[in-house]
C-alpha cells in the first residue's frame, strides 16, 4: 500500500507538481559502501523510496563510492540485502564511480572557465589558509596559475604523477566568503589506493561535494534529500551545478538526522567498536544496524513503523529508545507464537502426583489468534518454574509463590508449597508442593490464589541459553562524547540458563516467540546444535 510522507518535504513536492504536472519525481538513496546500514539509514531509505512510490516516481540506490580507502564490495552487497529485506523495491542501482570519466570532464570544464586550479599547498597549509568564522581566508599562491598550467597539472594528477597529499584541485570561489565551505573547496585529491570497483584505473578521486551534485544531475534527480549537516554544502552544490554545462538542475532539501538514545549511529564509530572487539561484528544484536536488529528479531514492519512515527522534519531531536521498542512490541504482539520458558530454573516436586503420571493439556499458541492453533503440554510430578517466582519469605500481597499461599500454574492447577530442600550453602535446590486436582482451569469460589506463574514439565524441556540485551552505552547521547568508549556498559549482554518447551516447529522461525511473562525471543540453533534464545525486547 502506498504511504504518504507528511511534512514539509511533501509540501515542497506537491507544490512542484502543481507547477509542472509533467514532473516525474526522482529521488535517490546514496550510501557510501564503507559499512553496514543502520537505523538512521532506514529513515533515509524509507523517505526516498516511499516518496517515489507514492508519486509514481523512481528512487535510485546510488553507491556513493568515491573513497577507495574505506569502501568494499562486501558492504555493497550487504547494503542491497538490507534494503531488500526492508521490503523496498530497488529498480535502479547506480555507482558514483561509474561517473568518474564524466566527473573528470566537468572538472576540466571548470579549469577552462578559470573556476578551478591545481593547488600545491600542503594539507596543513590549505587548512591554515582557509581562516575561521571570524577570520577571512588567504589566497593560495597557486590560485592565479594560468589555465594551461592547471590543465597540465590536473592531467598529471590523473596520470599518477603526484603522490598523495601533494596536490589537489580546488574550486576558485571566494576566500573571504562568510561560508567556509565556499573558500576554494577541494574538488579532487590524489588517493593511492585500489578502488574496489574501478580497480587501479584512477589516481584521483572527486570529493563528496563535487561528485554528489553532478551524480544527482546525471541521474535526473528532482529532489535530493539529505540531512541537516549539509545545509552549508548546499551553496557549493548550487555553485557547481550553475557553473558546469549540465542540463538537469536538482534541488537539495535537508531534514533532521535520526538520533537514537543510548547508541551511536555512525559507521566510522561502529567500525571502531568492531575493531576493538567490543561487539562481535556488524550484526551484533546490541548495535542498531539493520543486520543487528534483524539478528535480534526486529521485523521490517517494526522499523518502518518506527521511522514513520518519528517523522520527517527539520527539528533535531534524540529519539527515546522506548519508541523503537514499542514498534517491535506492537508488531510482534499479534505475530508471535506463545511458549513457556523458564530462566534460572527451580525444580518443583508435586508430591501428590505419581512419578509415572503424565497429563496432556491442550493450550493455545496465541491467546487471541485461534488460527495460530494449539499445542499439547505435559503436566507431571516434576516441573520447573523461574527461580525468581519463588520467595521463601514474603508478605500477603506477594503475587508469586511463597510459603502459605497458593498460586495457579498457567493453563493448569493451583499448587502450594509444603517444604523446601536446601544444600549446605543454604541455597534452595528444590521445592515440594501439592496440587489441587479440582482447580483445573477453574477457580473454586472458596479458594484465594495469589497469582499465576508459568512452568514447564521436566518431561517436556530443551536446555537453552538465554541472552538478554540492554543498551551498549551507559549514557543517553554517547555520540556527543569524544571518548565514547569510556561509556560502554558491562551489562549489555547477559547469559542465563534455562529451558524452553520441546515442541518447537521444525523450521525455527525468524519471527520471535513470546515466552509468556518474560519477553520476545528469537530462537537459534547454534553450530554445536545447542539452542539459544536471544531477547528481541522485553514485554514492557
Ligand atoms: P554514517 O556517519 O553512519 O556513515 P553517513 O551519512 O556518512 O552516515 P552515508 O552512507 O553517506 O552515511 O548515508 C547515506 C544516506 O543516509 C545519506 O543521504 C545520509 O544523509 C542518510 N543518513 C545517514 N545517517 C542518517 C541518519 N542518522 N538519519 C537520517 N538519514 C541518515
Ligand atoms: Mg558518510
Reported confidence tier of residue 518, pLDDT bands at 50, 70, 90: very high
Identify which of 223, 227, 288 to mutate to test ligand 1's pocket (most ligand atoms within 8 A of the CB): 227
Residue 62: per-residue pLDDT: 98
Identify which of 32, 33, 41, 226 to mutate to test ligand 1's pocket (most ligand atoms within 8 A of the CB): 41
**pLDDT beyond 80 at 119:** yes
Cα(32) to centroid(ligand 2), Å:
6
Q: Beta partners for 312? A: none
Cα(38) to centroid(ligand 1), Å:
9
Residue 136: per-residue pLDDT: 96
Task: Give the CATH class of 462-538.
Answer: mainly beta
Residue intervals in the chain for CATH 3.90.800.10: 100-205
Identify the sign of the CA torsion 341, 387, 465, 358: negative
**pLDDT beyond 70 at 508:** no
Q: The domain at 342-460 falls in which architecture?
A: Beta Barrel (2.40)
pLDDT, tens digit, 9 for 90 and up, residues 171-227: 999 999 999 999 999 999 999 999 999 999 999 999 999 999 999 999 999 999 999
Q: Which three cell numbers stand for residue 92?
A: 535502479
Residue 527: per-residue pLDDT: 80
Average pLDDT value for residue range 93-107: 98
Residue with cell 506537491: 14
- What's the rounded Cα separation, in Å, for the pair 82 and 95? 17
Cα(31) to centroid(ligand 1), Å:
7
Q: Is 70 in the pocket of ligand 1 (CB under 6 A)?
A: no
Residue 529: per-residue pLDDT: 79
pLDDT, tens digit, 9 for 90 and up, residues 434-480: 999 999 988 888 889 999 999 999 999 999 999 999 999 999 999 99
- What's the chain's average pLDDT? 96
Question: Do 540 and 517 touch, CB atoms closer than 8 A?
Answer: no
Reported confidence tier of residue 133, pLDDT bands at 50, 70, 90: very high
Question: Do 133 and 177 touch, CB atoms closer than 8 A?
Answer: no
User: What b/e sequence results for 249-264 when a residue is b if at least 16 CB atoms lie within 10 Å of its CB, and e otherwise?
Assistant: ebbbbbbbebbbbbbb
pLDDT, tens digit, 9 for 90 and up, residues 149-168: 999 999 999 999 999 999 99
Q: Which three cell numbers stand for residue 431?
A: 521445592
pTM of the model: 0.95
**pLDDT beyond 80 at 317:** yes
Residue 506: per-residue pLDDT: 60
Residue intervals in the chain for CATH 2.40.240.10: 342-460, 462-538
Q: 308, 270, 259, 320: which is closest to 292 by C-alpha?
A: 270
Q: In CATH, what number does 100-205 get?
A: 3.90.800.10
Between the CA of residue 531 and those of 457, 500, 519, what are the distances in Å? 18, 9, 17
Q: Is 33 in the pocket of ligand 1 (CB under 6 A)?
A: no
Amino acid at each position: 500500500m502506498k504511504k504518504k510522507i507528511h511534512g514539509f518535504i511533501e509540501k515542497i513536492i506537491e507544490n512542484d507538481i502543481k507547477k509542472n504536472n509533467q514532473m516525474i519525481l526522482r529521488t535517490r538513496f546514496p550510501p557510501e559502501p564503507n559499512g553496514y546500514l543502520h537505523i538512521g539509514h532506514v529513515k533515509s531509505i524509507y523517505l526516498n523510496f516511499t516518496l517515489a512510490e507514492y508519486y509514481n516516481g523512481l528512487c535510485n540506490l546510488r553507491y556513493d563510492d568515491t573513497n577507495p580507502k574505506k569502501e568494499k564490495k562486501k558492504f555493497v552487497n550487504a547494503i542491497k540485502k538490507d534494503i531488500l529485506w526492508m521490503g523496498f523495491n530497488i529498480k535502479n542501482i547506480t555507482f558514483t564511480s561509474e561517473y568518474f570519466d564524466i566527473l573528470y570532464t566537468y572538472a576540466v570544464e571548470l579549469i577552462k572557465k578559470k573556476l578551478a586550479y591545481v593547488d600545491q599547498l600542503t594539507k596543513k597549509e590549505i587548512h591554515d589558509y582557509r581562516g575561521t568564522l571570524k577570520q577571512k581566508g588567504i589566497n593560495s599562491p597557486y590560485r592565479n596559475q594560468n589555465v594551461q598550467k592547471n590543465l597540465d597539472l590536473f592531467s598529471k594528477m590523473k596520470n599518477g604523477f603526484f603522490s598523495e597529499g601533494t596536490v589537489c584541485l580546488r574550486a576558485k570561489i571566494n576566500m573571504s566568503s562568510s561560508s567556509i565551505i565556499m573558500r576554494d573547496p577541494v574538488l579532487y585529491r590524489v588517493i593511492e589506493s585500489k578502488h574496489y570497483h574501478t580497480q587501479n584505473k584512477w589516481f584521483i578521486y572527486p570529493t563528496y561535494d563535487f561528485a554528489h551534485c553532478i551524480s544527482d544531475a546525471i541521474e535526473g534527480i528532482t529532489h535530493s534529500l539529505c540531512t541537516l549537516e549539509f545545509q552549508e554544502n548546499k551553496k557549493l552544490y548550487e555553485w557547481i551545478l550553475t557553473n558546469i554545462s549540465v542540463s538537469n538542475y536538482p534541488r537539495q532539501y535537508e531534514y533532521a538526522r535520526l538520533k537514537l538514545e543510548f547508541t551511536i549511529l555512525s559507521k566510522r564509530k561502529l567500525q571502531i567498536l568492531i575493531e576493538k572487539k567490543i561487539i562481535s561484528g556488524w550484526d551484533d544484536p546490541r548495535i542498531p544496524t539493520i543486520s543487528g536488529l534483524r539478528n535480534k528479531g526486529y521485523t521490517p514492519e517494526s522499523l518502518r513503523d518506527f521511522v514513520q512515527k518519528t517523522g520527517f522534519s527539520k527539528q533535531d531531536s534524540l529519539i527515546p529508545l522506548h519508541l523503537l521498542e514499542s514498534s517491535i512490541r506492537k508488531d510482534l504482539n499479534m505475530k508471535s507464537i506463545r511458549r513457556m520458558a523458564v530462566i534460572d530454573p527451580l525444580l518443583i516436586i508435586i508430591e501428590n502426583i505419581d512419578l509415572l503420571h503424565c497429563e496432556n493439556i491442550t493450550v493455545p499458541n496465541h491467546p487471541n489468534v485461534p488460527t495460530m492453533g494449539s499445542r499439547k503440554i505435559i503436566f507431571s510430578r516434576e516441573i520447573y518454574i523461574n527461580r525468581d517466582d519463588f520467595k521463601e519469605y514474603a508478605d500477603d500481597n506477594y503475587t508469586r509463590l511463597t510459603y502459605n499461599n497458593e498460586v495457579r500454574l498457567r493453563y493448569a492447577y493451583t499448587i502450594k508449597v509444603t517444604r523446601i530442600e536446601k544444600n549446605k550453602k543454604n541455597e534452595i535446590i528444590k521445592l515440594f508442593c501439592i496440587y489441587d486436582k479440582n482447580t483445573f482451569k477453574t477457580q473454586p469460589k472458596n479458594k484465594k490464589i495469589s497469582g499465576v506463574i508459568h512452568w514447564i514439565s521436566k518431561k517436556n524441556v530443551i536446555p537453552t541459553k538465554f541472552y538478554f540485551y540492554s543498551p551498549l552505552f551507559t549514557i543517553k547521547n554517547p555520540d556527543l562524547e569524544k571518548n565514547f568508549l569510556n561509556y560502554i556498559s558491562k551489562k549489555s549482554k547477559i547469559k542465563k540458563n534455562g529451558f524452553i518447551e520441546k515442541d518447537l516447529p521444525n523450521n525455527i522461525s525468524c519471527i520471535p516467540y513470546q515466552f509468556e511473562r518474560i519477553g520476545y525471543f528469537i530462537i537459534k540453533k547454534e553450530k554445536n546444535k545447542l539452542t539459544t534464545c536471544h531477547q528481541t525486547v522485553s514485554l514492557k
